[in-house]
Structure 1
């Protein structure tokens, strides 16, 4: 008769087999990723149905040879093949463009450039639309800056959208002075950039280029692109944009404040699983009566949950009424956070969870 110790021993043996299977899966996926790179170089399609059929046929024969059901083995390998095919396909990520913006830099900080296709979009709304329609599984948009405050276009889209926050990126905003090849600082008569970049670099410009005309354009990346068309011009933009358009950086960190950071959200149809170092973003609204906001926030204080941000936005359909955007530490599936959200729903007239995601820099 088997004892409990024998049962535990058998389970330990299964655990060891599982570890071997996982290691082999990792090796197979790594090989598939390398095959994907070769396919891209040869401009071959990712999916090869003849190869998949041959693999499944071979798996069936191997299974029967060792006494396993071939259909069961094939079902398992169909999932393995799908996982391997997934690493060969480029992940499509929409971002607020054009190319060379800080948002693209944020997207490249979150997603590995190898195997990722970055798709510029003209507006924040169009980034949301790309993800909502399934054209791209992810999107990246700015949400707030330490000096300029929140990006209201992003917050307003969340009110109308069912998309969730999958991740966040915090990026140090380093403005660069950029020139076209062959242009010197002494030649500069016009400085091109986005209005915010011009304002953030006011001290540098007044000290070194006081006589130059300041000309506003739609983005810092567009300013860099225009250097090839506007004579005697300089641009304020990103080092990435300078590389993309073949320009040269002559000064880095020209912004007035070294403490300028922009936070970005990674959009998806779902949020991120728990990591133990998470943050949650929500929207809520309360009745327009004394003490309503106090009672809403009390559910977090009572449970020792730290709030990292709270901000109000007007409800556009009603005068002088507001919704609140709030971030707190923890994941919505953590027991204490779940309890707080349930308590908030009993005290608020609207609670919308935007998502839980790893805190940037916590890994």
Structure 2
């Protein structure tokens, strides 16, 4: 029998993160563990309370989840996998409710942003109110029992909390995907994919903020024909005007070209940390 993992995620049961867990591990191999804050997800994993964690890192419509970039650096965890999940948002209300009754729409800020076109067009009379989680918003609407309240969440949340779908597929663009990262403690050996399927995530800081410093840092990968999938900058706390840079680069740290690039980067950067090497994730529609 396959090993079953406890997997922490931010939110309530019925959230998209829970859907990502089940898509990645399978229902037989994962026991989702809901927690109210991302910080608590990282702490639970780091302390050994759970075996794995699933966090969103970026959305194709609304951009990066910046807090999770900061938490990746702050905690002793490692990225061991990823998944791209198609996000379908629905307007959920009490059974028998009508859209024209809605005066308050609750959801996570990312979900509200992903559905802003629908909200402006069809619910301009309603107030959009941020909640800590999509499924949590659905649960709150169910508990309130107010026909003037609605939530934006997934179909799993509708079923979980007994709500009715008032409008389906309300995201602003059909190509709405969220990329999730699978995290483990550093001692866990990540799966190794076939050649050409691996990627490595790193974070580094420049040695000095002078013209050409970032170019020299990125050149270590170009010199070795290594593709960069993504670069994200975050402010370096306590050092105004300085930044941390997060990179996703093609290849594994076990490959010679990547190893040499990392050694070269360490010579020109103030610090470098590998956040994980892992197989490129599949897309789940």
- TM-score (ref. length: structure 1): 0.71
Within 5 Å, give how 1:1-363 maps onto structure 2: 33=1, 87=2, 90-228=4-142, 229-232=144-147, 233-269=149-185, 270=188, 272-276=190-194, 277-288=197-208, 289-361=210-282
Higher helix share: 1
Q: CA deviation at 1:203?
A: 2.8
- CA shift at 1:175, angstroms? 1.0
CA distance in 2, matches of 1:159, 1:261: 24
Task: Describe the shift of the 1:346–1:252 C-alpha distance in structure 2 as closer, same or farther (beyond 3 A).
Answer: same
Larger radius of gyration: 1
Contact 1:165-1:271 at 8 Å conserved across structures: no
Provide the aligned C-alpha RMSD in A: 2.0
The alpha-carbon distance between structure 1 residues 299 and 120, as it changes in their structure 2 partners (threshold 3 A), is same
Q: In 2, Cα distance between the equivalents of 1:291 and 1:113?
A: 49
For 2:129 and 2:69, the matched residues in 1 are separated by: 29
Conserved 8 A contact 1:314-1:321: yes
Shift of 1:190: 3.2
Secondary structure at 1:339 match in 2: helix
Question: How far apart, CA to CA, are the structure 1 residues paired with 2:251 and 2:283?
Answer: 13
* Runs (5+) with no aligned partner, structure 2: none
TM-score, normalisation: structure 2? 0.89
Cα 1:209–1:284, aligned 2, differ >3 Å: closer, same or farther? closer
| Equivalent residues of 1:192, 1:235 under 8 A apart | yes
Pairwise CA distance, 1:211 = 2.9
User: Residue by residue, what CA displacement relative to the aligned partner does 1:4-36 show, whole Å, maximum 9, x if unpaired?
Assistant: xxxxxxxxxxxxxxxxxxxxxxxxxxxxx3xxx
Deviations 1:102-141 (A, max 9, x none): 2222212111112421001111111111111111110011
- What is aligned with 1:60? none
SS in 2 for 1:349: strand
Compared with structure 1, are the counterparts of its residues 180 and 173 closer, same or farther at alpha carbon in structure 2 (3 Å cutoff)?
A: same
Q: Deviations over 1:284-313 (max 9, x none)?
A: 112223322222211111111000111211
Whole-angstrom distance in 2 between the partners of 1:214 and 1:152: 22
Alignment partners' CA distance in 2, 1:285 and 1:207: 43
Flag structure 1 segments of 5+ consecutive residues without an equivalent: 1-32, 34-86
Q: Secondary structure at the match of 2:221?
A: helix
* Larger relative contact order (CA 8 Å, sep ≥ 6): 2
Relative distance call for 1:215 and 1:331 in structure 2 (3 A) is same
**Given that residues 271 and 355 in structure 1 are in contact (C-alpha distance below 8 angstroms), is that contact kept between their aligned partners in structure 2?**
no
